[in-house]
Structure 1
């Protein structure tokens, strides 16, 4: 009888220990301290409370040092794997139309999508400056959760590091993404050839302008919001009607001008733009005129540049316009054979000028 009682007590003890182990920690501090990066209970509580509770899914809940996937389920969706990584250091962390968390999720999704991949899994690693508000970090994590849920992807693993006050600027985020490319799709800047047309899915420069105004360094007021959004659904719509798309790229840092220069150099062709066809809000034009900026170089976080053969242009344009993220799509230029590696702009006055690669930085730390 005593033996049974002892075993019973021991079993109860083990069960209670297991419950304690599975209980998620809770952050009680108001700001990040160096202890949150020490590897001890403070760090575990931070991870549990801020990240695990928001990103929770079957893969993440294993809390291993890596995420493990079933290769068979990936192969069912395509024949190639797409893998990308990016870092986000935007200032300010919160801006009209988005924040650094939403930016990190959508930006990584878009880097996968423009290869023709269906985004599936993301990682999230953060570098936290000592003194950062816990509430700020929580807001960012919730935003990442919302963006991931909206896009139908999972954040499955990550890491946290804490640096001394002044060694970083509040919060930096690094993400990596994995997606699967559908069979029969081969998208590359090297595919571009003379006769192709260039299509954009909407207004340029909204993100860069929103960030500039949000910094509060200029006496400017505007209702311009960032265009931060995931583009994978729009890409799927395009590929459904035209798997033969030659090239796609999201026009982030360096804007449309940089993307097209990269395209021209990769395929040894020239690209001619029609300024009158490029959609730019009057407010964006006004800010650029005041500050001496060129909107073609402003960053975007929801703009897709598509290059297709002329025979497919109408079909692709129609499909893009049928999608909410492409309703303002339009043809803005064409690919010509020479001068190779050059982007030209036919201005509204009928003249023609070269749109070169950006030298220096118009707006630092915008994505």
Structure 2
């Protein structure tokens, strides 16, 4: 073979190596696994979240993928809202080679899934779990996509005090971290600001009969100024219907779990004036309003809950991290998320840098009025007021 031909082949080989080093070839995929609660008690929030996830992925892929390089491939499996099944699903998804794991909207199944992913060095993020102990319970590959319960209950307690409520009764459930710890956080802040907790009742998730608690509240003397409960559908509207049917008109406040059309459709007039904290609101002229319109155009109806938006924003965080890392390597993506600042989501800007894997986000206060959600105010809690996780 002549020297000139050797030089040509060497030049071609150099170009091939350089091209491979420069980045992925067109059509390379980024595999994301979704350990989702499509059935069971968490389906009311995770089904909308999964639709938001798919919508964001479709939009990104239609534009050529993340940074025009990586088409996202989503594999979703149902964990039936069970922590044990969530572990099984996570193990199966990771065995299939996913490079990122999305887990459901509650900390208990997410902890189970995240611990499996942590051992494999796979970054994991929940669509809407708000327990601030979640990242620490799993490890440095676990991220939340929303604020913590200690933050949203701080805003809720501050609202209660500013509204003039001096005493409160709490209805909580030991069945999950969400329905127990959030009561603890609220009580700490409410009492710190001068309020008094008159008592704390208990319920079982999925309970259909709240008569014992309703009777207890009705017979309390003195009556509390407000009732705080982290119950979510179907429990929240069931409790409120039975409470109002008994003639008890004490105001009720809650947190993000009730932000669902199920609360209004199941509760009817009984949920009027319910105030709660949540992740966003479709104000005119905002990215959230635009998301609402695009979601309706895609699926034929308004989002069933705000969790459609948190699912969408989770994918936008992944997109920002992969773009920043210029890689799909799990460790590089994990490190990139940890340093993200001011990522524009539909619920607002999202910052992870310096936040211990719980993003800094605005908290919204919403009231149900005339059968519709209405925005009361937006708030960011004072850091000194937020209870430790």
**Which TM-score bucket, shorter chain as reference?**
under 0.3
Question: Greater strand percent: which structure?
Answer: 1
| TM-score (normalised: structure 1) | 0.25
**Which has the larger share of helix?**
2
TM-score relative to the length of structure 2: 0.24
